[in-house]
């Protein structure tokens, strides 16, 4: 008995801790830029999509960082019928030492943030000078490969208050340029002089090899006069115009290596290739879809550089229905990230095992300067046979033996004879009517009643743009278990394929059935598809 209570206690504790872990708030950590200079302030941001267990304890940061300012904000939103409460803590800090630092985990009660790596350099942010306003630009790397990412950073240093300013944008005909995120604002110190800094970043992708010069950028600014006591008649501060320019930067863009010219060129800092299946066991019934989702994520690349993934897959016995690819780009402070996601549904025509080929994506690693290959191995999927409908066995009705008199047996034979004569008369009358009607008009073989009903249902489903009802009507008309079993050609086959893609791709747009109905009415009909009774009653008379 005591052992049973111990087991119950352990089970309760396990359930309790699993519930606590499931409900723990996830706290994300980020910085407004990375790397940072030893004398530069930067923002350290903690964000949570749920209420943490308690207040944050930022004292663990003080060993490596000086906390200059701290702000907290919160917002609420309603997503997919659920309320979400977002909280954010923004700290303005400065590093106390240079090197590869680790921002330690910060406790929010029992909830804890994840650590984050940060690079702090001791290189001066700008050339020492006595100017109150100047620009500094930097491009990394300065010897990129063609179509590889270059991070172009522009920093505005000023000791004066700026009332209004306009800054030119970098323009290059031989490159693709993308602005990265929002501007960063911080303070720094250069040889004992304090400066406010505004930093802006761009991602530049050179499209041609050779020497590429990024022209100088120009800033036109109205700054508040430094002379104390000067103001206009209405009390407004006196401003003066200033113009400063950056230095031009020259890049030596390298061509694609000769060994890689025969392959599709894709350069990136990092690349990930993953897949997901609608059924983890990779098996499905014949005629039903098995959906594969392949995702390619590249850092330091544009979405236009990502290749197609699975649209070229062809396997005998399987029909493929690819969905439109999903393309996304993220503009982070450390560069551009691109994502391409493709979904494709596989529908087998018959039971068996089918092998899908491997997917390989060759890419050039700009950090290691080597060619690498992202690989998804070959996959074997299994199509299970459709279960045959189970016929209901009707037990024979028990017949109780009866002893009938000769008089009753004679009455039974009499009524059987009368019923037979009536049936024969009805049959002869029906034959006469059918032959008479066939002389008045050409012989048209009508479909069966069930086919008529299915055709009417298909017409109504197409007119009301109901894809599920159209599918069921087609299955009933052709007496099959899946759309893949329908023998169709031309426009009719294309419309059935389009209906299949819509049903299995999860599209949210409205389906239109006009094309399917027109293709159904105009389809070529073979003798095997017509299930009707031939007009030929002659054998009935040869009894």
The DSSP annotation for 196-213 comes to: EEEEEEEEEEE-S-EEEE
Q: What angle do CA 159, 163, 165 make, to 5 degrees?
A: 90
- Indicate the range of 62-76, 456-470, 522-536 predicted with least confidence: 522-536
Average pLDDT estimate for 143-166: 92
> Is the model's pLDDT at 389 over the cut of 60?
no
Whole-number mean pLDDT of the chain?
Answer: 78
Average pLDDT estimate for 433-458: 57
The answer to whether the CB of 30 falls within 8 A of the CB of 88 is no
The full set of domains in the chain, from first to last, is 24-121 (2.60.40), 133-253 (2.60.40), 262-384 (2.60.40), 449-521 (no CATH)
Of 38, 89, 29, 32, the C-alpha closest to 64 is 38
Q: What is the pLDDT of residues 473-488, one digit of tens each?
A: 888 888 776 776 677 7
pLDDT at 224: 85
Of 151, 118, 154, 152, the C-alpha closest to 44 is 118
Could you give the CA distance from residue 337 to residue 325 in angstroms, rounded to a whole number? 17
**232 Cα distance to chain centroid:** 58
**539 Cα distance to chain centroid:** 64
pLDDT at 247: 94
List, in order, residues 6 or more apart from 343 with CB less than 8 Å away.
291, 292, 293, 294, 322, 323, 505, 506
pLDDT confidence of 491, banded at 50, 70, 90?
confident
Please, what is the angle between helix 514-521 and helix 490-505, to 10°? 150
Q: What is the pLDDT of residues 155-187, one digit of tens each?
A: 999 988 888 889 999 999 889 999 998 999 999
The answer to whether the CB of 470 falls within 8 A of the CB of 462 is yes
> Is the model's pLDDT at 415 over the cut of 60?
no
């Amino acid at each position: 008995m005591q052992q049973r209570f111990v087991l119950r206690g352990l089970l309760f504790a396990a359930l309790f801790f699993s519930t606590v872990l499931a409900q723990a708030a996830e706290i994300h950590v980020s910085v407004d830029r990375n790397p940072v200079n030893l004398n530069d302030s930067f923002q350290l941001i903690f964000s949570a999509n749920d209420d943490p267990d308690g207040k944050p304890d930022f004292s663990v940061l003080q060993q490596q960082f000086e906390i200059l300012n701290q702000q907290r904000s919160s917002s609420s939103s309603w997503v997919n019928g659920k309320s979400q409460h977002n909280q954010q803590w923004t700290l303005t800090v400065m590093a106390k030492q240079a090197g590869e630092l680790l921002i330690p985990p910060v406790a929010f009660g029992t909830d804890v943030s994840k650590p984050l790596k940060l690079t702090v350099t001791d290189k001066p942010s700008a050339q020492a000078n006595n100017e109150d306003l100047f620009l500094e630009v930097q491009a990394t790397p300065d010897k990129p490969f063609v179509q590889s990412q270059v991070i172009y950073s522009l920093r505005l240093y000023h000791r004066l208050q700026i009332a209004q300013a306009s800054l030119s944008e970098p323009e290059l005909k031989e490159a693709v340029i993308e602005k990265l995120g929002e501007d960063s604002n911080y303070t720094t110190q250069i040889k004992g002089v304090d400066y406010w800094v505004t930093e802006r970043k761009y991602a530049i992708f050179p499209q041609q090899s050779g020497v590429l010069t990024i022209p100088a950028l120009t800033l036109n600014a109205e700054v508040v006069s430094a002379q104390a006591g000067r103001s206009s008649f209405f009390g407004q501060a006196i401003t003066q115009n200033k113009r400063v320019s950056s230095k031009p930067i020259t890049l030596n863009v390298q061509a694609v290596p000769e060994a890689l010219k025969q392959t599709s060129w894709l350069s990136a800092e990092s690349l990930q290739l993953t897949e997901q299946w609608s059924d983890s066991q990779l098996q499905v019934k014949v005629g039903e879809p098995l959906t594969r989702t392949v995702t390619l994520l590249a850092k330091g690349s544009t979405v236009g550089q990502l290749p197609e993934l699975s649209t070229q897959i062809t396997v005998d016995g399987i029909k493929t229905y690819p969905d439109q690819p999903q393309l996304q780009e993220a503009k982070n402070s450390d560069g551009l990230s691109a994502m391409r996601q493709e979904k494709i549904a596989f529908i087998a025509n018959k039971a068996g095992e089918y092998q899908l080929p491997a997917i390989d994506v060759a890419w050039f690693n700009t950090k290691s300067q080597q060619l690498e290959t992202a690989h998804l191995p070959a996959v074997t999927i299994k199509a299970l046979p459709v279960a045959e409908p189970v016929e209901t066995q009707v037990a024979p009705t028990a017949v109780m033996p009866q002893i009938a008199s000769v008089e009753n047996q004679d009455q039974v034979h009499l009524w059987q004879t009368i019923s037979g004569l009536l049936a024969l008369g009805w049959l002869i009358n029906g034959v006469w009517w059918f032959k008479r009607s066939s002389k008045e008009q050409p012989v048209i073989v009508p479909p069966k009643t069930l086919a008529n009903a299915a055709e009417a249902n298909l017409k109504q489903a197409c007119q009301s743009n109901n894809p599920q009802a159209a599918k069921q009507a087609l299955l009933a008309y052709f007496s099959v278990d899946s759309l893949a079993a329908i023998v169709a050609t031309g426009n009719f086959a294309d419309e059935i394929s389009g209906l299949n893609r819509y049903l299995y791709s999860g599209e949210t747009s409205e389906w239109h059935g006009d094309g399917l109905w027109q293709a159904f009415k105009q389809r070529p009909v073979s003798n095997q598809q017509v299930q009707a009774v031939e007009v030929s009653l002659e054998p009935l008379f040869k009894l």
